[in-house]
Chains A and B, each alone.
Chain A
């Protein structure tokens, strides 16, 4: 096939000028686009309005198609469950008995905990969630790891607020529309959470890597390090995330750095709770992350 000759328009001045101005517009647009990127870099909240609007416009599409996709997605695991029913039943019974023992212990501990906290007059611990809402989707293609929440400014959601599910921490709010909000997941490359290792009580920092796991750095020099299976909870340092929300489990270690899997797997979540920001928010507004 011969090369296309679409840009060769003969002697018509009008069409030649049209082509020329098309290229001028494209080049100026590239410059303008780079300017937008620069603005987004240095003023992360600059496009809150328009991006919130886009979020509001696209959220109904996601919400409307969700039942269809969920039906299709759960079919395969339903069939698998059917075949594994007997063995799973036995193991679930064993787990239930174990869990009931633990539950009784936990109730005793919770009672004692409440009593001790009252005795100490400890404040600023329990905070009521702002809203419980459905997680309706996420960015499937890009490099950032976002999820969309079906609650927005109208429900009291604001950028920077932490989001948790029953299993553990999910992330924090990046952008809000009127009826929808975008969550930066823990696993996003721009997310960093101050953590505590439950076994040792040592502080750590969990950073997202954009591929489903967290990279956990110890912030204690010469600490006891990580072990496979360590439970990580938020430490509350920095005042964004409330303390003692379960975050993840260490799945592998290499020296001072560990890999952790988040407890709240966003793919399986239905509902999430938006919590008020714990204390003084950091000076940099979300969705800015750390600088590499």
Chain B
């Protein structure tokens, strides 16, 4: 759909328009690959943050199913059981779609609340599915990274906006 709009507006290179959001989300997933070795989770899930940032910034950019391949890639990159992020991200995106269908005033604060709910849902879901698959640990080590992730959302949204300006520039 974004392709149609961009063609109407005479914008450049559908490839760049479509690839940059996906590539930046994948790079966000790869942040977890930085070669620190830690015994407790410390980093927020940047892949999820980037995906949410793009989704809330450009609702028309992605079809509803895009979270499936993105989530699967995140699973494979971070080593969580395959299907975890795939399921959780897609459910979050569908939830955001349902919110979009409600006529209410949207601003940055509301987007932040929505993102916070999605992050919380994904963290809880990841923990629950991890326990189901292979006996994960306690829940409380996840609290700090989740709060950090919620606090990290506005900067990531700004980053998405910055990338978006470059993406749409002639």
Residues of A within 8 A of B (CB): 1-4, 6-7, 9, 15, 18-19, 22-23, 25-27, 29-30, 32-37, 39-41, 44, 47, 50-51, 54-55, 58, 61-63, 65-66, 69-70, 73, 135-147, 175, 182, 185, 187-190, 208-212, 262, 265-267, 269, 287-292
Contact = CB atoms under 8 A, between A and B. Distances in A.
B155 interface: no
Which 9 A-B residue pairs are closest in the complex by CB-CB distance?
Answer: A210-B137, A189-B137, A36-B83, A33-B87, A212-B39, A6-B60, A54-B76, A289-B135, A211-B141
A3 B39 contact: no
Contacts of B131: 189, 292
Interface of B: 1, 30-46, 59-60, 63-65, 67-68, 71-72, 76-84, 86-87, 90-91, 93-94, 97, 100-107, 126-127, 129-138, 140-142, 145
Given A7-B100, A58-B30, A141 B79 contact: no
Nearest to A286: B134
A291 B135 contact: yes
Contact of B130 (A19, A27, A189): A189
Given A6-B100, A288-B135, 9 more contacts: A6-B1, A7-B100, A26-B94, A32-B83, A35-B83, A62-B34, A139-B78, A190-B137, A266-B39
A29 B34 contact: no
A137 to B, nearest CB: 4
Contacts of A190: 134-137
Contacts of B130: 142-144, 189
Contacts of A34: 83, 87
A287 B76 contact: no
B106 A140 contact: no
Contact of A33 (B32, B35, B68, B105): B68
Contacts of B37: 135, 137-138, 147, 266-267, 269
Nearest to A213: B39
A40 B138 contact: no
Contact of B82 (A40, A140, A262): A40
